Structure 1
Amino acid sequence: MLVIGNGRLITRDREGTFFEDGCVAIEGQKIRKVGTTKDIRKEFPSAEFIDAKGGVIMPGFINMHNHIYSTFARGLNINGYHPKNFMDILEGQWWRIDRTLNLQDSYHSAKIAYLDSIKNGVTTVFDHHASYGAIEGSLTQLSNAADELGVRTCLCYEVSDRDGAEKMKTAVKENTDFIRISKDRSDDMQKAMMGMHAAFTLSDTSLEYCAAHTPDGVGYHIHIAEDIADVYDSLAKYGKPIVNRLYDLGILGKQTMAGHCIHIGPHEMELLRDSNTMVVTNPESNMGNAVGCPPAMRMLNEYGLLMGLGTDGYTNDVTESYKVGNIIHKHHLADPNAAWAEIPEMLFNNNPKMANRYFENKLGVLEPEAAADVIILDYKGPTPMTKDNYNSHILFGMNGGAVTDTIINGEIRMRNREVQGVDEAKIWHDAQAQAQSLWTRINQA
């Protein structure tokens, strides 16, 4: 048994329970009990004890939309790359990267992404992968990396027509193969979706092919209206908005997650709501790509969509998305009251709800029988922390770098900022060598 105490404990339960000197007891892969440090240590005197040293104890973060394959883009200089718009960014950078990626690139980039997630207190990652240079077996590379690091993850491969019909079908098979593999697991650590790139790179025939090969109970992970070009493409080719088109083809639904949804209208919001489709927004990436600000406040407050928060490969620190999400909507709407409640609702309440449409063990909360995904942050704070203001302390005072300890599925994955059970220096060394190889291949192509 493991006991974590002597810290301010944010449980995220329905009552918003907060302990000034809190403690959580872990037995196996689940939370056994929460309470005061005095009471829990008295009840479990022989348990291994982790001292939070007055820091903050809380559930691990969940990243609902990431792109692990973007890991090696950091610092990359592509010859002749000078984008003027989002399509230039896709064609000039991301599609050149993914067409060059081999299986070793995918594996080592995943090792780094999951390692960095642990260091930033992210215990669950939903990833959207692409490696058109090596499709078959690529999700297994990510899966192996996740197993080695011990991170909970849900994987998919983005199906697209952009490299031809045969690769589209190979991508579908990569999804279906991994869906089968994930269903054979019994540890609730890895799940799978049917990945799709975006409506503008998928014909109706390809979407129908995806649907025909997607097992019951599995949904789709797809970008929707990230850029206005996606909207124009759907109207020009199919005479209907993107969401309508996907609705007509049976792509929407409770298990489906729509990324971005920046350029959608009220009727499309209604279709997403009525089909119970999940939406995930990615504020840093949207600003970085200059694609616009989604109508997230309307989707949440007016239409009641289940909407979460992701990083879209921009970072593995979801507190960055929290901070930027808080200000992008204030700036966009010229409303200082915007996003105070909505962004933490996405990150702390909706992300767990969305993740639990795939994972069985209850995530994002510290209460009996929930998954034992717990983090400690080194944070004291210049003002009192209470049940009513701890989100403000997280927003303005904490970041991923404050995380000292990460426990996933009851296993200590980081202790005192040292990642356990792996040779961290070797992971970084191997990644840098692999990245250099990738960069050379990209610029020689």
Structure 2
Amino acid sequence: MYIFGNGRVITQDKNNPYLEDGAVVVQDDKIIDVGEFKDLSRKYSDAEFINAKGRVIMPGLINTHMHIYSSFARGMKIIAPTRNFDEILENLWWKVDKNLTLEGTKYSAYATYIDCIKNGVTTVIDHHASPYHLRGSLMTIGQVAEEIGIRASLSYEVSDRDGEEIAREGIEENIEFIKWANEKNSDMISGMFGMHAAFTLSDETLKKCQEAMEPYDNGYHIHVAEGYTDLENSLKVHGKRVVERLNDFGIFREKTIAVHCIHVNSHELDIIEKSKCNVVHNPESNMGNAVGCSPALHMIKRGIKVGLGSDGYTSDMLESYKVTNVLHKHHLCDPTVAWGETPQMLFDNNREIVKKQFNCESGILKIGGKADIIIMDYLPHTEMNGDNLYSHILFGMAGRGTVTTMVNGKLVMRDRVILTIDEEAVLAKAREVSKEMWKSF
């Protein structure tokens, strides 16, 4: 049993949003009490005390769209031109994934999960690609997640860009992992059916994906209308817009994650809204790739569940939180927008998306919730309360301020030290493996 106390508690529970001097009590993988520190410290005097020292205690953060393998591109010199989104894909990302071995996949997972934990992220929904070392890749990433102690939902992005045989292997990889995760019936690991994007998938492959998924209610994980190329290809080759075409193959369902949804019209949003699927907004990636600004605020207004992801751009979800807020103000030339929608995406909608994946309550500090808890090194210099806490998070906190991270009742980092693996040794090996990958370019 643990008691997190002597800190300011942000619960994300609207019935009890903030405690100035609060405590959270954990037994096994669940939160069993939340309240005033002076009361709970007496009531649970035998619990191991995690002293926040006046800092902020809050739920672990969630990333609903990640590319773990992208970590091996950090610092890499890009020789080929990357003047537009198509060239970024062809000359960077599709070369990175083609040069990933299973060992590369494994150590990119170690590196990314460490980065996530050190930025207070306790749940990751990942979208993987390694076409020339595809089989066993999801299990490899899943085993690293289990070893390091982070919650993960995994999928492989099926695509026709590397040929029919690799597309078939991608379908099989997804289904095998979904079967394994479903049988495991864990709230720490789950599987989705990944696909790259409509413009890299033929009707024949989409049909095969649909047929493979018929026995399962797991969702799809797919990039939707991210760049204009996706829309242009869909109209030119298939005579339909992206969402319309994908809808013909039953892609949009309640557990599906439709990533980006930038170049969509009102009719396509009708389809998405009716399906009750989830959209994930990735502001930094969209800006970096110059693909446009998502109509995320409009989608939220329509009642579409829009979560927040990083698309591999960062592991710091509080960085994405800040960029979301300013991007939409800038794009709409309106400083009054995004104050409510931004925290809704990160703290409310991400939690609901994860609940569909794992059937558990995470991202909230309340009795019965999963014990995913972080301590942030933030001491406010103005009053913090239940009405202004999102402003404190926006302007005062950063992911790297995470001091301690607990996932599912297990301490995985304490006082900035990773407890479940040898961080220094693992990252040294990751540097070796990534350097070899760079040479293969």
Post-superposition CA distance 1:345-382 (Å, at most 9, x none): 00000000011101122111111111000000010122
C-alpha distance in structure 1 between counterparts of 2:325 and 2:82, whole Å = 28
Q: State the partner residue of 1:32.
A: 32
For the structure 1 residues 401 and 128, does the alpha-carbon distance in structure 2 shift closer, same or farther, using more than 3 Å as the test? same
Superposed counterparts of 1:216-235, under 5 Å = 216-235=216-235
Letter of the 1:388 counterpart: D
Q: State whether residues 118 and 413 of structure 2, in contact with CA within 8 Å, keep that contact through their aligned partners in structure 1.
A: yes
Q: CA RMSD in A?
A: 0.8
Post-superposition CA distance 1:201-232 (Å, at most 9, x none): 00111111001111321110000011011000
Matched, 1:44 2:52: no
Q: State the partner residue of 1:189.
A: 188
Helix, strand or coil at the partner of 1:394: helix
Helix, strand or coil at the partner of 1:223: strand
C-alpha distance in structure 1 between counterparts of 2:123 and 2:219, whole Å = 18
1:238 Cα shift? Answer: 1.1
TM-score normalised over the length of structure 1: 0.98
Helix, strand or coil at the partner of 1:160: coil
Q: State the partner residue of 1:206.
A: 205
Work out the number of aligned pairs and report it: 440
Post-superposition CA distance 1:67-110 (Å, at most 9, x none): 0010100011133x121110000000100111111100000000
C-alpha distance in structure 2 between counterparts of 1:427 and 1:310, whole Å = 25
Q: State the partner residue of 1:20.
A: 20
Helix, strand or coil at the partner of 1:345: helix
Letter of the 1:305 counterpart: I
C-alpha distance in structure 1 between counterparts of 2:272 and 2:78, whole Å = 38
Matched, 1:321 2:320: yes
C-alpha distance in structure 2 between counterparts of 1:212 and 1:60, whole Å = 36
1:18 Cα shift? Answer: 0.9
Letter of the 1:182 counterpart: A
C-alpha distance in structure 1 between counterparts of 2:16 and 2:225, whole Å = 35
C-alpha distance in structure 2 between counterparts of 1:346 and 1:5, whole Å = 28
C-alpha distance in structure 2 between counterparts of 1:177 and 1:39, whole Å = 49
Helix, strand or coil at the partner of 2:132: coil
Q: State the partner residue of 2:137.
A: 138
Helix, strand or coil at the partner of 1:64: strand
Q: State the partner residue of 1:368.
A: 367
C-alpha distance in structure 2 between counterparts of 1:359 and 1:56, whole Å = 26
C-alpha distance in structure 2 between counterparts of 1:266 and 1:338, whole Å = 21
Letter of the 1:156 counterpart: S
Letter of the 2:321 counterpart: Y
Q: State whether residues 186 and 358 of structure 2, in contact with CA within 8 Å, keep that contact through their aligned partners in structure 1.
A: no
Helix, strand or coil at the partner of 2:194: strand
Q: State the partner residue of 1:172.
A: 171
C-alpha distance in structure 1 between counterparts of 2:316 and 2:17, whole Å = 25
C-alpha distance in structure 1 between counterparts of 2:186 and 2:329, whole Å = 41
C-alpha distance in structure 1 between counterparts of 2:132 and 2:123, whole Å = 27
C-alpha distance in structure 1 between counterparts of 2:95 and 2:117, whole Å = 29
C-alpha distance in structure 2 between counterparts of 1:336 and 1:277, whole Å = 29
Helix, strand or coil at the partner of 1:413: strand
C-alpha distance in structure 2 between counterparts of 1:40 and 1:54, whole Å = 16
C-alpha distance in structure 1 between counterparts of 2:351 and 2:264, whole Å = 25
C-alpha distance in structure 2 between counterparts of 1:77 and 1:185, whole Å = 41
Superposed counterparts of 1:24-423, under 5 Å = 24-79=24-79, 81-214=80-213, 215-301=215-301, 303-423=302-422
C-alpha distance in structure 2 between counterparts of 1:13 and 1:40, whole Å = 18
1:187 Cα shift? Answer: 3.4
C-alpha distance in structure 2 between counterparts of 1:277 and 1:181, whole Å = 24
Helix, strand or coil at the partner of 2:64: strand
Letter of the 1:359 counterpart: F
Unaligned runs of 5+ in 1: none
Helix, strand or coil at the partner of 1:357: helix
C-alpha distance in structure 2 between counterparts of 1:87 and 1:417, whole Å = 39
C-alpha distance in structure 2 between counterparts of 1:16 and 1:119, whole Å = 27
Letter of the 2:228 counterpart: I
C-alpha distance in structure 2 between counterparts of 1:56 and 1:43, whole Å = 22
C-alpha distance in structure 1 between counterparts of 2:226 and 2:420, whole Å = 39
1:427 Cα shift? Answer: 1.1
1:197 Cα shift? Answer: 0.2
1:180 Cα shift? Answer: 1.0
Post-superposition CA distance 1:370-426 (Å, at most 9, x none): 100000001012211000000100001001111000000000011111110311100
Q: State whether residues 149 and 420 of structure 2, in contact with CA within 8 Å, keep that contact through their aligned partners in structure 1.
A: no
C-alpha distance in structure 1 between counterparts of 2:186 and 2:293, whole Å = 38
C-alpha distance in structure 1 between counterparts of 2:69 and 2:44, whole Å = 43
C-alpha distance in structure 1 between counterparts of 2:201 and 2:81, whole Å = 26
Letter of the 2:141 counterpart: L
1:16 Cα shift? Answer: 4.4
C-alpha distance in structure 1 between counterparts of 2:208 and 2:248, whole Å = 14
Identity of aligned residues (%): 48
Letter of the 1:220 counterpart: Y
C-alpha distance in structure 1 between counterparts of 2:420 and 2:280, whole Å = 32
Helix, strand or coil at the partner of 1:237: helix
Unaligned runs of 5+ in 2: none
Could you list the runs of 4 or more consecutive aligned residues of structure 1 that deviate by over 4 angstroms after TM superposition? none
C-alpha distance in structure 2 between counterparts of 1:250 and 1:322, whole Å = 31
Helix, strand or coil at the partner of 2:358: coil
